[in-house]
Structure 1
Amino acid sequence: KFCSSLAGIMLLEVFLALGTVIIYFLFSKKKEETLSFKEGWWGRGQKPDSEEDTTIRPFKVETTEEELSDLFRRLDQARFTEPLENSCFHYGTNSVYLKKVVSYWKNQFNWKKQVEVLNKYPQFKTKIQGIDIHFVHVKPPRLPEGQSAKPLLMVHGWPGSFYEFYKIIPLLTDPASHGLSDEHIFEVICPSIPGYGFSEAPHKKVLVGPFQFGILYDSLILNVTNFNHTLFLFICVPFSGFIFSHMKGLHLNLASVTNMGVIHLLSILLGRYLPGLFGFQDEDVKRMFPFLKKGLYRILLESGYAHIQATKPDTVGCGLNDSPVGLAAYILEKFSSWTDMEFQNLEDGGLER
């Protein structure tokens, strides 16, 4: 029985591998071409004949009592679904814990003080290819004689915002004041991805994606700095990494393989049985296999959000935009599972660790 079961598993893996190989060769014949720096138009209607006004305008985060009253009304009227017993975070953000978050949100979180924090650094907006792009722009307070600042573009991902970089900005723009070497001093620009935060969302349904956003950012850094060249540095987090796909130099601290070759596929198929052939250590085998459970199944289990956001964003957007509690649950789930999958076994999803 054991041999029969093992043979069945191997046969299934063979069919999966062969199917993947066929799909790979069908869709990988045409190589991706480097995108040209064409002037696009993502604003409403047709692109006007007149030259676009790219004036850089100061921006400040503001809120009103009406907005806060509306928020608290929605928090007060939130309806919670009873979670399954002992489910913790296995099916997403547990509503028992979510109630604690909402209670803190209503009774302790000081939004007005948070607005002051957001306005700590200079912020601006400028029009690029028909849409308003919001960005934080921080210049060094001082520069050693004969030294110039290096332009550094820092791009957030999803779910995130320009605020992710606030704590590191002073270390980059004024390292000497924080006990660091001033050999490298940066002029930092942190934009909001179009459709995120205070950046306007594109109004066209075709060709809107990370590659086009990369072209927008190239225009942005040339518009807002005194650097007359296109050589600049950037730091990005997951998703935003797709925005920059062609560059002269690259340093990764979280590399991923997305273009599978035949050898890679064979390692998935046979690596469990012939680990030495593919350079796998015992720890690699424990972490990767059985691949259907630890690889494919986990991807299917955790990628549902990406599919609905990519294919039906209007539908999911209606609910999340209307319910602050729903949006909080949606994002908190990712903070939990993306930090450590084992946090799904905890009542607080590991969010308080």
Structure 2
Amino acid sequence: MWLEILLASVVGFVIYWFVSRDKEETLPFEEGWWGPGARPTAPEDESIHPFKVETSDEEINDLHRRIEKVRLTPPLEDSRFHYGFNSNYLKKILSYWQTEFDWRKQVEVLNRYPHFKTKIEGLNIHFIHVKPPQLPAGRTPKPLLMVHGWPGSFYEFYNIIPLLTDPKTHGLSDEHVFEVICPSIPGYGFSEASSKKGLNSVATARIFYKLMLRLGFQEFYTQGGDWGSLICTNMAQLVPSHVKGLHLNMAFVLRNFYPLTLFLGPRFRKLFGYTERDMELMYPLKKIFFSLIRESGYMHIQSTKPDTVGCALNDSPVGLAAYILEKFSTWTNAEFRDLEDGGLERKFSLDDLLTIIMIYWTTGTITSSQRFYKENMGHHFMADKHHQMKVHVPMGFAAFPCELLHVPEKWVRFKYPKLISYSYMARGGHFAAFEEPKLLAQDICKFVGLVEQQ
């Protein structure tokens, strides 16, 4: 008993000491060149060009030939998704992919919003830019940069965009109307991959900041989950005066002392600021620990040898689908691993899921997307300066209950001292914008309202 009190006191003192050191600092704004060869001496072409997603009979026929030649291993009896993607259910997906999925129709869906490309630091950066179809008199839209993660894409935001750009038509308040910019991370989908080592989240944040300036935005809001949360955080650390507000549905806050309190949390909940809801989402600790171990094998591979597994995934659409869709199962809800179909169609349509797969397949970017793990985690993970720095812009956080790791408000506030909105979301997991667009849109609007009241 006394030992626990002593430990709690020491941890509490250390936390207080670190929290009190609230020095505001920014990341150095460096320059990069990620294109092939040496950087040209001529100034970079800053023009923005319209872009359209296209396909061809050859592309579709090649896909179908590869699917027809699939060689699957039968699953173990009663294994469900415990060993990874169940190949019996995969057969159903492959049948749908070949006979019912219409890639040409999905290309039209992708082209529903305006696409563009522009050259930044030697790379062709792809983005969609959606403006409101109508605005209340005397109003201007609020620019919002939304950044995806892995294994997602800009397509994750297709259902939330109309809620943000045309809220009244979709039954929401039009107090806040946005124009939304969704770029593809370099090496993902239609954004060109780096030819050089080192393109990490900070470099990506700088590239996206330059994109926003090129579009004429000196101040803007940002939103992200997964890698998008880190990229948007880095942008706030690079250019805090340009980021009006930062809204996240995932936060990298492990470099503080709060995680140490997990072991004492059940006995000293109030001392560490944990709510009853926090306790429900974090305990029993053994369950969370084993869940993280079970779901993180891909991370070790991609942080060390991404190109090896990339060779297989870039050559096989079936392997690519199994590898990616397994994440859309267990990261949406860990309990889905107990189902024969992984619960995939409980939250998503096969058309939407296969569209994400096709973006990776047709662009051949699975390997380059996985390299982002190597660049961010394969060297001195958590030792980079940005992990040690706090973020001093207004911040809002949406805590979805089925996220891979629940982050209590106290943890978030340590990294983001200007946290003004923390919401326990009613439902949803890792792919928040894709899975629960209305809930996320409402929380973004709530946060922006609080920012503008300050």
Compute the TM-score of the two structures, normalised by the length of structure 2: 0.65
1:7-35 deviations in Å (ceiling 9; x for gaps): xxx9xxx9xxx9xx9xxx9xxxxx99732
Deviations 1:21-67 (A, max 9, x none): 9xxx9xxxxx9973222221111111111001121111111111111
CA-to-partner distance for each residue in 1:307-347, whole Å, 9 max, x for gaps? Answer: 11122111111111111110110111111111111111111
Q: Structure 1 residues 55-64 or 293-302, which shifts more? A: 293-302
Task: Name the SS for the 1:352 alignment partner.
Answer: helix
Query: Could you tell me which residue of structure 2 aligns to residue 221 of structure 1?
Result: 212
Pair 1:295-2:288 in alignment: yes
Q: Give the distance between the partners of 2:32 and 2:49, measured in 1 at CA.
A: 22
Q: Does 1:346 align with 2:339?
A: yes
Structure 2 equivalent of residue 87 of structure 1: 79
The amino acid of 1:258's aligned partner reads L
Q: Distance in 2 between matches of 1:171 and 1:45?
A: 43
Hey, what's the Cα distance between the residues in 2 that align with 1:264 and 1:162?
Answer: 32
> Residue 221 of structure 2 contacts residue 246 of structure 2 at CA under 8 Å; is this kept in 1?
no
Size of the alignment, in residue pairs? 321
Secondary structure (helix, strand or coil) at the match of 1:243 reads: helix
Q: In 2 relative to 1, CA 188–290 (structure 1 residues): closer, same or farther, beyond 3 Å?
A: closer
Q: CA RMSD in A?
A: 2.7
Give me the whole-angstrom Cα distance separating, in 2, the residues matched to 1:288 and 1:164: 27
Cα distance in 1, alignment partners of residues 183 and 77 from structure 2: 43
What is the distance in 2 between the residues matched to 1:289 and 1:185?
39
1:159-308 → structure 2 map (5 Å cutoff): 159-206=151-198, 208-223=199-214, 225-227=215-217, 229=218, 231-245=219-233, 246=237, 247=240, 249-254=245-250, 257-261=253-257, 264-265=259-260, 267-272=261-266, 278=272, 288-289=282-283, 291=285, 293-308=286-301
The CA deviation at 1:145 is 3.5
Q: Is the 8 A contact 2:146 2:224 kept in 1?
A: yes
Aligned residues of 2:36 and 2:195 also touching (Cα < 8 A): yes
CA drift of 1:77 comes to 0.4
Change (3 A) 1:64 1:32: farther
2:310 equivalent to 1:310: no
Q: Aligned partners of 1:64, 1:55: CA distance in 2, in Å? A: 28
Query: Does 36-45 or 92-101 show the bigger shift?
Result: 36-45
What SS does the corresponding residue of 2:300 show, helix, strand or coil? helix
Q: Describe the shift of the 1:32–1:307 C-alpha distance in structure 2 as closer, same or farther (beyond 3 A).
A: farther
For 1:43, the equivalent position in structure 2 comes to 35
**1:162 to partner: Cα distance:** 1.1
Larger Rg over CA atoms: 1
Structure 2: distance between partners of 1:232 and 1:40: 23
- Cα distance per residue 1:111-164 (max 9 Å; x no partner): 111111111111111100000001111222333343222111111111111111
Aligned to 1:324: 317
For residue 151 of structure 1, give the secondary structure of its aligned residue in structure 2: strand
How far apart, in 2, do the equivalents of 1:70 and 1:133 lie? 27
Letter in 2 for 1:82: P
Match of 1:139 among 131, 145, 165: 131
Q: Judge conservation of contact 2:230–2:252 (CA < 8 Å) in 1.
A: no
Q: TM-score of the superposition, structure 1-length normalised?
A: 0.83
Deviates more, 1:39-48 or 1:249-258: 249-258
> What one-letter code is carried by the residue in structure 1 that aligns with 2:143?
P
Secondary structure of 2:256's counterpart equals: coil
2-side partners of 1:48 and 1:112: how far apart? 38
Equivalence for 2:61: 69
Q: Is the 8 A contact 1:149 1:185 kept in 2?
A: yes
Higher deviation after alignment, 139-148 or 53-62 = 139-148
Structure 2 residue aligned with 1:3: none
CA gap of 1:71–1:50, structure 2 versus 1, over 3 A, is same
Q: Distance in 2 between matches of 1:32 and 1:334?
A: 37
| Structure 2 residues not aligned, in runs of 5+ | 347-454
Q: Percent identity?
A: 60
Decide whether aligned partners of structure 1 residues 237 and 270 sit closer, same or farther in structure 2, where only a CA change above 3 A counts.
Answer: closer
1:219/1:106 Cα in 2 relative to 1: closer, same or farther (>3 Å)? same
Separation in 2 of the partners of 1:73 and 1:176?
46
> In the alignment, is the contact (CA less than 8 A) between 1:173 and 1:186 conserved in 2?
yes
Q: Which runs of 5+ in 1 are unaligned?
A: 1-9, 26-30
1:129 aligns with 2:121: yes
Distance verdict in 2 for CA 1:271–1:178, change over 3 Å = closer
SS of 2:133's partner is coil
Is the contact made by 1:151 and 1:186 (CA closer than 8 Å) also made in structure 2?
yes
d(CA) in 1 for partners of 2:160, 2:116:
19
